[in-house]
Amino acid sequence: MRVTLSMEQSLPAVPAVDDHHVDRRRYPDGVAFMDGQYLPMSEAKISVLDWGFLHSDATYDTVHVWNGRFFRLDLHLDRFFRGIERLRMELPYDREKIASILNNCVALSGHRSAYVEMICTRGSSPTFSRDPRQAENRFMAFAVPFGSVANKEQLERGLHVAISETIRIPPKSIDPSIKNYHWLDLVKGLFDAYERGAETALILDTNGYVAEGPGFNVFVVKDGSLRTPAFGVLPGITRRTVFDLCAVMGLSATAADVSRAEIKAADEVFITSTAGGIMPVTRIDGTAIANGLVGSITRRLMDLYWHKHDDPAWSTAVAYP
């Protein structure tokens, strides 16, 4: 059943979720919010004329829900709104209503652990103009079952990663602090990694240092201190969370250049993403990192990271019906 919204000054309002009118059998894979309606993911569509599709002219952010709680939702909303402003887009909803939409997508789906995305595309021009100022920006959101970059086996023994020669899009071309769908460099890196028998990839920045991977940042641990690339990367929320956790644990963490030689000589390596949290890496380019086992600092960070999901200072409860 679709929940159709009333229109106020041509903008849809956000209704409360009514359990008496929700048939969760219609939403087994997740719920989307588009054009003033909540609907099954299978019915969520965009126009082929939308600039988000034609030109990757869009920004988005992804937050996850774990055990019925959003993790660090405020930080994700902050970054989403910064991206909207920098891309000169306009949203039809304020921050409070977008948070309500995200909550409703999760609540309607019934999922206790979910991957929740908010998106704004440039939209399309009624006259098919090439002037982006004439496009009508479009907001949408969805909640689907939680997924991770690393599966259970990989989380236990560590990911096997290859470093591709592919160069990340220069930050002077695309601002990496604005979360975007420009992934062709990352996809090329993935195919390079697969051809070499690895499970995922890291690519390089324009100076030849390690940058990031498809949807994740990377950290190295050496002599008890942590370092993560600083140039040409998305400042991920999970990346920031690692800095916050290190402050709690009394560990040193800095953002600075990381060379290929340094990452291979590290004591420990891990990647960070909303899709999976803190995930260990134990092999790079076919060579084991240290003893080839998940390191003690990585394990401590992983444990504290998931523990914080129940902390009201770090998480927000979903209002289920």
DSSP for 275-311, please give it.
Answer: TTEEEEEEEETTEESTTSS--HHHHHHHHHHHHGGG-
Q: What is the CATH number of domain 152-309?
A: 3.20.10.10
* SS3 label, residue 270: strand
Q: Which residue has the higher pLDDT, 8 or 234?
A: 234
Please say if the pLDDT value at position 13 is more than 90: no
From CA 106, how far away is CA 45, in angstroms rounded? 19
From CA 179, how far away is CA 215, in angstroms rounded? 10
Q: What's the one-letter identity of residue 145?
A: P
Domain positions in the chain are 3-145, 152-309
Query: Percent of the chain beyond pLDDT 90?
Result: 89
> Which pLDDT band, with edges at 50, 70 and 90, does 12 fall under?
very low
Check: CB of residue 59 under 8 Å from CB of residue 178: yes
Residue 91 CA, distance from chain mean position: 20
Stated pTM of the model: 0.91
From CA 236, how far away is CA 248, in angstroms rounded? 19
Looking at residue 23, its pLDDT comes to 54
The tokens describing 265, both together, are: 């000589």
CB atoms within 10 A of CB 312: 8
Residue 261 CA, distance from chain mean position: 28
State the chain's mean pLDDT as an integer: 92
Looking at residue 204, its pLDDT comes to 98
From CA 146, how far away is CA 63, in angstroms rounded? 10
* Helix ranges, 129-236 (H): 152-157, 184-195
From residue 42, how far is each of 30, 144, 181 by CA, in Å?
A: 9, 11, 21
Question: What is the enclosing helix (H) or strand (E) of 137?
Answer: strand 136-145
From residue 27, how far is each of 67, 83, 200, 288 by CA, in Å?
A: 19, 30, 31, 43
Please say if the pLDDT value at position 6 is more than 90: no
Taking only the tens place, the pLDDT of each residue in 115-146 is 999 999 999 998 888 999 999 999 999 999 99
The tokens describing 69, both together, are: 């709680």
Q: Which residue has the higher pLDDT, 26 or 206?
A: 206
Q: Select the CATH number that applies to the domain covering 3-145 from these four: 3.40.50.300, 1.10.10.10, 3.30.70.270, 3.30.470.10.
A: 3.30.470.10
The whole-number average pLDDT for the span 225-236 is: 97
Taking only the tens place, the pLDDT of each residue in 208-226 is 999 999 999 999 999 999 9
Taking only the tens place, the pLDDT of each residue in 40-56 is 999 999 999 999 999 99
Looking at residue 227, its pLDDT comes to 98
> Which pLDDT band, with edges at 50, 70 and 90, does 19 fall under?
very low
* SS3 label, residue 94: coil
Please say if the pLDDT value at position 31 is more than 90: yes
Q: What's the one-letter identity of residue 310?
A: D
Please say if the pLDDT value at position 59 is more than 70: yes
> Which pLDDT band, with edges at 50, 70 and 90, does 74 fall under?
very high
Query: How many alpha carbons fall within 13 Å on the CB side of residue 253?
Result: 21
The whole-number average pLDDT for the span 96-112 is: 96
From CA 149, how far away is CA 55, in angstroms rounded? 26
CB atoms within 10 A of CB 159: 25
From CA 264, how far away is CA 268, in angstroms rounded? 9
* Helix ranges, 149-183 (H): 152-157
Question: Which strands form 31-34's sheet, in the order they lie side by side?
Answer: 3-4, 37-40, 31-34, 136-145, 114-124, 58-66, 69-71, 315-317
Check: CB of residue 70 under 8 Å from CB of residue 318: yes
Backbone conformation region of residue 215, classed left if phi is above 0, alpha if psi is from -120 to 50, else beta: left
Looking at residue 321, its pLDDT comes to 87
Taking only the tens place, the pLDDT of each residue in 289-303 is 999 999 999 999 999
Check: CB of residue 272 under 8 Å from CB of residue 242: yes
